[in-house]
Amino acid sequence: MTALLASAKQAVLEEILVPARIVPVLTIDRAEDGVPLARALVAGGVKVLEVTFRTEAATAAAKAIIAEVPDAIVGIGTVLNGDDLRRARDLGARFAVSPGATPELLDAAAANDLPLLPGVATASELMQAQARGFNLLKFFPAEQAGGIPMLRALAGPFPNTRFCPTGGVNAANVAAWLAEPNVVAVGGSWLCPASDIKAANWEVITGRCIDAMKTLRKR
Ligand code: 3PG
């Protein structure tokens, strides 16, 4: 069976990311935290979630969220290779996110129907992704790799590329990032820091989401 075309997968990703605006990056250490964390985010109006493959609990947590929180749209992050991509698809994720864009991963994504948002930080990485049909990319690590000035510089030679900046995005700079014309959404961990997850501060997380979404609506 032939995999979906890159353009079709990018269109699916765009449909998920554009209305989301903010995609929380979740690092879940205890599988049982997944469902209450996802419910807290959804209650705050944040429905598209990236569960990172960084912990042993990640797979079980993502599976539980997919099964028990139907309003959440679950993606898998920290996808590093083709095996990770297949694991993400098999557990029912709607999309995948990677910190970088190796040729091996991009080729694996071409053979897999799961839409991938590959990470880039330089013009050369962007060109490698673009050569394989990726025009919607994660800019990572966004603040550390040059922030908004870097993104504006990339917009010159790459006017058709759009980004989901992630890394160093926070309550203070999220509106500025989202105001950039080539930004479709942002990712980040600031809505649900590890300390709040550890302490099961679900209401605090919901409140932070509500505030973030209110700030964005005002603009
Ligand atoms: C990450 O990979 O940890 C994400 O990019 C989140 O970055 P942040 O913690 O700076 O938001």
Tokens of 193: 């820091």
Q: Check whether 162 has a pLDDT greater than 70.
A: yes
Residue identifier of the C-alpha nearest atom 7 of ligand 1: 167
3-state SS class at 119: strand
Q: Check whether 1 has a pLDDT greater than 60.
A: no
State the catalytic residue, choosing from 14, 47, 104, 138.
Answer: 138
Q: Check whether 219 has a pLDDT greater than 70.
A: no
For the CA atoms of 17, 138, 4, 129, what is the dihedral angle to 10 degrees? Answer: 150
For 45-82, the pLDDT digits (tens) are 999 999 999 999 999 999 999 999 999 999 999 999 99
State the catalytic residue, choosing from 50, 63, 180, 203.
Answer: 50
Ligand 1 pocket (Cβ < 6 Å) reads 25, 140, 166-169, 187-190
Domains of the chain, first to last: 2-207 (3.20.20.70)
Q: Check whether 109 has a pLDDT greater than 90.
A: yes
Sequence letter at residue 66: I
Q: Check whether 13 has a pLDDT greater than 90.
A: yes
When pLDDT is cut at 50, 70 and 90, the band that residue 141 belongs to is: very high
**Looking at residue 81, what DSSP letter applies?**
S
When pLDDT is cut at 50, 70 and 90, the band that residue 218 belongs to is: low
Per-residue pLDDT at 85: 97
Residue 143 is a catalytic residue:
no
38: nearest Cα among 191, 214, 173? 191
Residue 15 is a catalytic residue:
no
The pTM (predicted TM-score) of the whole model is: 0.95
